[in-house]
Structure 1
Amino acid sequence: MFQKHLQKAADSILPQTLYVVATPIGNLADITLRALAVLQKADIVCAEDTRVTAQLLSAYGIQTKLVSVREHNERQMADKVVQYLSDGLIVAQVSDAGTPAVCDPGAKLAAAVREAGFKTVPVVGASAVMGALSVAGVNDPSFHFHGFLPPKTGERQKLFAQWAAADYPVVMFETPHRIEAALSDMAAVFPERRLMLAREISKTFETFLSGTVAEIQTALAEDGNQSRGEMVLVLHPAVKEKSETLPESAQNVMKILSAELPTKQAAELAAKITGEGKKALYDLALAWKNGGG
């Protein structure tokens, strides 16, 4: 069954195509069968660091030509990759870990290939962002991904101020040598906000710390090992303050509906229209009927 799916993936790989391949972020077993099929069949593999990628390929017994495509030469190498594709070759692009172009080189190459008229195909896989979100305990349908936090305190503080009232989770990356400073800046802006620090996801020393920013600061102070490795921070949404009074617009909707419909039905419909609580709208209508407004 394993070989059947691997062969099916291999059969779908086309020449003159750039495959943007997600690689494991830690645990080598997190690579997908499709990624293995692409790497096995690729004539050229563009790597951020050829030494890192060579270790991955060696682990799976794959031998192919590696070329270096990194931040400083990506634009220049794009012309060579376009030539490879023009010659009918299959090209794969990888970063050291995770998905190219997501806080890693890759966007310029993909854009150049598409502009040259060739296909770019994503081969999805392990993601530190989605991995952290999946265990953070946030259930919001949307989130903001920022990437690496600014290295300077002033820039971080301005950024955090923008998120002070954010009603959505924010996912960000941070480095070991800046984590203490970043948490210190966070504590000043988000003293009560919940935060999760995911460290070394999928690796041997994977840990997840959750609590207030101050509690995570304490955990890092008590165990220096928690300040090491790759880090993802998930900032929970700001807690919405409950208003004791309904917005005037919601009250107007309820007033119109309650004049034409039974109170319960009017409250249900008003709640759907305004997004306010059905009970609060119902209680408001009762107060009107009892002479309260």
Structure 2
Amino acid sequence: MSKLDRNGDASISREEWRKKRIFDKVDLDGDGVISFDELQIRLGEKAPDPKSGIELPDAVSISAIRRGRHDSVQDLKDRGLIETGLYPVWGEDVSCRGIDHWYAMDYSQFRPKQAYHGGVDIPAPFGTPIHAVMDGEVIAVYAGKQSPRGIEVVMRHTPGESGLPLYLYSRYTHFQRMPDVQVGQRLKMGDVIGTTGNTGVLGCELKHEICRKSRRPVLHFDILYSGSEKYYDNGNMVIPFDAHWMDPNALFRKSMPVDSISMSALPKSEKAVRISYMLENGELHPADTRMIWPYTCSR
């Protein structure tokens, strides 16, 4: 609050608020300024007055997805951020970009608190195009200047688009520059969202240590899911109602269940997941797939 309240009047004006696009949503009483109470409600740190008509996700969803300093690590584990043992495979005649940091990898060494990797990291050279993995709608674009995630795009996919009886949220981070996509824009599977970069606050910066090297260029890719169509945008991240984490590899099984407990219980013979993909010429494999790897593959 103090960082934004530059004139010290205990409120944040439109001029002081950085995210102009959502100012009116945060200014709950419409008085032209954001109070400390309104800011707490927006961040999910305070429950709104029941008479206000404002609805927030359940507390566990907020804690599990936000993963703030005081949020419970157990909440994110309960909502699926546990290792599954799944890994991607492709045909012998194709070359695709693989994962180097896996789902739910212990990230505590990179963070000030106990932490686990909420997705997969796929390294690629700077400027490599990143593609939409399914048809869907862009619901958030974040500059992420104070976030480890850096520049981020979030897409929402309906059951009709994915073929699964869930609302899915694909999240792409560390873009090289702000992508040329807009909130509300609909993208088709395979459309280019932006290019690979290394934006985002480093773990050593979060721990107030000296950073001796920068992040490699990489796409951090993750999937959230819910049975509810509702979600909440707190200005920094999208939090679905009744939110759960999904190992992105589980998405490419293309069938239920997708929850991490079920995935971790699979026999070793079923841990390898054959990934559907798009070639550099736009050819899909298999031809009828509804989802592809976020990078193109080559023969």
Q: Same fold (TM over 0.5)?
A: no
TM-score, scaled relative to structure 1:
0.25
TM-score, scaled relative to structure 2:
0.24
Greater helix share, structure number? 1
User: Highest relative contact order (Cα 8 Å, sep 6+), 1 or 2?
Assistant: 2
Greater strand share, structure number? 2
Report which of the two structures shows the higher radius of gyration computed on alpha carbons. Answer: 1
